[in-house]
Amino acid sequence: MSFAQSLIDNVVRIAEEKGAKKVSKVVVEIGKLLMLNPEQLKFCYEVVSKGTIAENSELELIEVKPIIKCSICGKEYDTPFAICDCGGVLTVEGGKDAVIKKIEMEI
């Protein structure tokens, strides 16, 4: 719920800065490593957006996969927190952030 709350706070702040009367759609990239449940997030978004200019807006989520690879040989993996066959430590790039990509609004 707190993630949805901070998301809506940001959306409303940005939209109001642009002088928007209403937000119709929000597109957010969410890293898979954040372990957010998209259905649950959409539900929470709906709840916290009530009474704001983003009420009834559509939330589109784009899941971003992290790039996990060995720091020594460069072999790619699906899960972090492991050691490569060569003994190298895996590094994780991306997949940990939530980024607002687009806000569609009526001005």
In angstroms, give the least distance from the CB of 103 to Zn ion: 41
Binding mask 73-102 for Zn ion (x = CB under 5 A): x-x--------x-x-x--------------
Stretch that binds Zn ion, among 24-32, 43-51, 65-73, 91-99 (CB under 5 A): 65-73
Place of tokens 């994780």: 92
**Which of 28, 70, 103, 105: binder of Zn ion (CB under 5 A)?**
70
Q: Give the Cα separation of 11 and 14 in Å (integer).
A: 5
CB atoms within 10 A of CB 50: 10
Contact 102, 27 (CB under 8 A): yes
The radius of gyration of the chain's CA atoms, rounded to the nearest angstrom, is 18
Shortest CB 90 distance to Zn ion, Å: 8
| Footprint on this chain of Zn ion (rule: CB under 5 A) | 70, 72-73, 75, 84, 86, 88
